[in-house]
Copies of this chain bind each other. A is one copy, B any other.
Amino acid sequence: MSEPASPLRRDAERNRQLLLRTAYELMASQGLDVPYEDIARAAGTGMGTMYRRFPQRQDLLDALFSEHIDTVIGFAEQASRYDDAWAGLGWFLERQLEVEARSRGLGELLRSRNQAGALVQRAHDRMTPLVAGLIARAVRAGQLPAGATPADFAAAHVMVGSVLDASRDFAPQLWRRALAIALAGLRNADLSGDPPDETVIDRLYNDQK
């Protein structure tokens, strides 16, 4: 697609890698909003270098997380091939949250699309139909109640993620309990009320502001 217009000078490439590694570490523990200055200082470079290499935070996020996002897309694809649709859904949600548990930044990315723009947008566009297919199959198989929608699955994701966010620093496994609650809830709730609007699923992953 986009070849390296001209390869970076060796020292520049070294700095770039150093900044990426450092940024990844900091964002894993502190989230996506780490100040550029903190990253630069931790990497031992000046801020100018940050800005030259990653003029928009977007550029940094893309470089940092695109492979991780691809991994998650891979999980969705694997899940969609499960014979047991419900098992596939549970497996996928658990994989996704394990990834988010390892990196706070990645969690913010996967659950609030606006921060990542195109990258995550595309991932969701890719995964949503797969999830929708699994849900339809699970409903048909009687594994999920009639009326269950992809938005409910997204809601479950957001729900467990919120517990993860709130507890990661003092109870790093608590989210698994929340996951058990969310999954048992999906299976057993009465979801026959009017289904959420189609567009809800998209907007649910966008933090507005």
Could you tell me the distance in whole angstroms from the C-beta of A201 to the nearest C-beta in chain B? 10
Could you tell me the distance in whole angstroms from the C-beta of A141 to the nearest C-beta in chain B? 18
Any chain B CB within 8 A of the CB of A99?
no
Any chain B CB within 8 A of the CB of A127?
no
Q: Which residues of B contact A177 (CB under 8 A)?
A: 152, 155, 189, 191, 193, 196
Contact for A178 among B155, B174, B184, B207, CB less than 8 A: B155
The oligomer's copy count stands at 2
Any chain B CB within 8 A of the CB of A118?
no
Could you tell me if B171 and A156 are in contact, using CB atoms closer than 8 angstroms? no
Contacts A163-B155, A203-B167: A189 and B181 contacting too (C-beta < 8 A)?
A: yes
Other 8 A-B pairs with CB < 8 A, given A171-B200, A177-B189, A184-B189: A155-B163, A155-B181, A159-B163, A167-B203, A169-B208, A171-B203, A180-B189, A185-B186
Binding site for B on A (CB under 8 A): 151-152, 155-156, 158-163, 166-167, 169-171, 174, 176-178, 180-191, 193, 196-197, 199-200, 203-204, 207-208
Could you tell me if A163 and B158 are in contact, using CB atoms closer than 8 angstroms? yes
Could you tell me if B181 and A156 are in contact, using CB atoms closer than 8 angstroms? yes
Enumerate 13 A-B pairs (CB-CB under 8 Å) in ascending A order: A151-B174, A155-B163, A155-B181, A159-B182, A166-B204, A170-B200, A180-B189, A181-B189, A182-B182, A182-B185, A184-B184, A184-B187, A185-B185
> Complex Cα distance A190/B169, Å?
24
Could you tell me the distance in whole angstroms from the C-beta of A158 to the nearest C-beta in chain B? 6
Q: Which residues of B contact A160 (CB under 8 A)?
A: 159
Query: Which residue of chain B has the shortest Cβ distance to A159 in the bound complex?
Result: B159
Contact for A171 among B174, B191, B197, CB less than 8 A: B197
> Complex Cα distance A189/B178, Å?
9
